[in-house]
Amino acid sequence: MTNDTPDIAWQGLLEHRRQIESLHLRDLFATDPDRFARFSVETGALFLDYSKNLVTEETLTRLFGLARARGMEAAIASLFAGDRVNHTERRPALHMALRNRSQRPVMVDGVDVMPAVRDVLARMRTFAEAVRSGIAVGSGGSPYRTVVNIGIGGSDLGPLMVAEALKAFRGSGPDVRFVSNVDDTHLVETLRGVDPATTLFVVSSKTFTTQETMANAQSARAWIADALGDAAVPSHFAAVSTNLEATRTFGIPANRVFEFWDWVGGRYSLWSAIGLPIALAVGMDHFEALLAGAHALDEHFRTAPLERNLPVILGLIGVWNRNFLGCDTHAVLPYDQYLHRLPAYLQQLDMESNGKRVDRDGRPVGHATGPILWGEPGTNGQHAFFQLLHQGTSVVPADFMVAADGHHHLGRHHDLLLANCLAQSQALAFGKTAETAEAEMLQSGMAPEEARRLAPYRSFPGNRPSNTFVLPKLTPETLGALVAAYEHRVFVQSVIWNINPFDQWGVELGKQLANRLLPRLSGTPADSGEDSSTTGLVAKLRSLRPA
């Protein structure tokens, strides 16, 4: 597709949308008793119901045609072959190699990377088991009771999300905490009440130069040195980095530095040594089970035909909602408290990957790309923003996810959770007409005039699309599959939109400007080239700070 002229498949979908825009999900379900069976897909332990989307068989046929017109099958093969799909940085994107449970080699520039991947995993296992068992100890001989991961972006969001999601599997492991924000409050509050003698820091930065991470790491180093002496630093730090010289200068022994590679993008890196805090939190067996769940989904994505390929279906429906139904945002609604950080993790995965305005040929795109992604766990969200989802003027497609079995069996809690999840997706899809609302009020004994007056307020338009993921139980395997499904969904959409989902140049300009402004805040005269707003704000901030 050129930037200004839709191709035949795209144009056909535009015309199809005009033909079905008057349809309602109520009608689609009423006329098709088998809709649920025909519009759902299952792979392993991951089940996806996509029947509550505004699609017909023809819609899907046309979407699969669009995917083939964009070369989807070849693109998937190219991704798994280790081709340089990240063309702006001339790198492969082989996060799948990190969780490759098969004996197949994975080649990068003619070299099988799997021996190096397995070596790092083995070193992670040795270290994690030593920490969790109490064999590895602090400088004073005490076992580590607290682990603090210092990172940002992909070095924080992924490990944090997984560590929270798998808390039920922690066992006797240490308390694992995370610091990312350069705001010193984050570090101070994380360390409040923590004993330096029983604390281990993991500093995660590929280059060991990331500004926010290194500011927090240097403060953590000073905290250990002030309490235990400078000689204690090597016993209280580990690193995930490729910069051995910088980690050595910092004081971290080489046997506590874990490598990953430039073909691993930050937001795809939780499967690598960046996942060390996960292994420390729940044990290496559970970490490798996470990898196995993701690998099973990788194999499905790599081999399943498009029509039964879960990430392909998920991605194409997202394209339909974004480009043809005009939906600007997308809500992620996990009905599992352990998944409370999943929406934030998926924000980075999706918005940093597909928040692009330039295509693979360096030209402005002629269509919408990644949606604004947001969300909160249910049922909390029901009492916050679901009002807008049900009766607002914006249509927000939603992904629900729920496990059939919970980790705790306290009274009727889990049944209430399941009932609320199913009820919300049902209400979004089918709504309630004003006539039904009025009839219900009359039946309850309300006066006809009052029932008629309130009916518009108590009616729901419905026809709001949603997907529902069902897991047997939230486990390392099912979580791995779920996250991998979203990773591949992002890739599918990038192929349709002809953009590179593996670079993130959009984050660089702010970093450059921050480095330039940093000395201005400490007294250097403002550059005459600064805009008046920035110059004025710097002056105002300096005037309000204590001398």
At 216-245, the pLDDT tens digits run 999 999 999 999 999 999 999 999 999 999
Catalytic positions? 352, 383, 511
Residues 510-518: contacts with CB within 8 Å, 24+ apart?
A: 511/211, 514/211, 515/211
Residues 364, 494 within the same domain: yes
Average pLDDT over residues 180-196: 98
Residues 153, 244 within the same domain: yes
Residues 279, 316 within the same domain: no
Q: Is residue 97 part of a domain?
A: no
Residues 62, 41 within the same domain: yes
Q: Return the CATH number at 128.
A: 3.40.50.10490
Residues 228, 310 within the same domain: no
Q: Is residue 458 part of a domain?
A: no
Q: How many C-alpha atoms does 228 have within 13 Å on its Cβ side?
A: 21
Q: Is residue 440 part of a domain?
A: no
pLDDT at 523: 76
Token pair recorded at residue 73: 């099958």
* Alpha carbon distance 62, 68 (integer Å): 10
Q: Is residue 453 part of a domain?
A: no
pLDDT at 306 over 60: yes
pLDDT at 472: 98
Q: Is residue 28 part of a domain?
A: yes
pLDDT at 522: 81
Peptide bond preceding 126 in cis form (omega within 30 of 0): no
Residues 185, 246 within the same domain: yes
Residues 126, 43 within the same domain: no
Residues 219, 161 within the same domain: yes
Residues 181, 275 within the same domain: yes
Average pLDDT over residues 26-49: 97
Q: Is residue 494 part of a domain?
A: yes
Q: 58 is in which domain, residue-wise?
A: 8-69+304-430+464-503
Q: Is residue 446 part of a domain?
A: no
178 pLDDT band, cuts 50/70/90, is: very high
pLDDT, tens digit, for every residue of 389-447?
A: 999 999 999 999 999 999 999 999 999 999 999 999 999 999 999 999 999 999 999 99
pLDDT at 1 over 50: no
pLDDT at 302: 98
Residues 111, 200 within the same domain: yes
Q: How many domains does the chain have?
A: 3
Residues 158, 276 within the same domain: yes
Q: Is residue 388 part of a domain?
A: yes
pLDDT at 197 over 70: yes
Token pair recorded at residue 450: 């009052």
pLDDT at 526: 57
pLDDT at 529: 77
What pTM did the predictor assign? 0.96
pLDDT, tens digit, for every residue of 248-293?
A: 999 999 999 999 999 999 999 999 999 999 999 999 999 999 999 9
Residues 143, 233 within the same domain: yes
pLDDT at 520: 86
Largest CA distance in the chain: 82
Average pLDDT over residues 308-329: 98
- DSSP one-letter string for 415-475: HHHHHHHHHHHHHHHH-B-HHHHHHHHHHTT--HHHHHHHTTTT-B-----EEEEEEEE--
pLDDT at 39: 98
pLDDT at 2: 45
pLDDT at 308 over 90: yes
Question: Taking Cα atoms as reference points, which of 406, 392, 398, 251 lies closest to residue 317?
Answer: 398
Average pLDDT of the chain to the nearest whole number: 96
**Residue 271 has what DSSP assignment?**
T
Average pLDDT over residues 439-463: 98
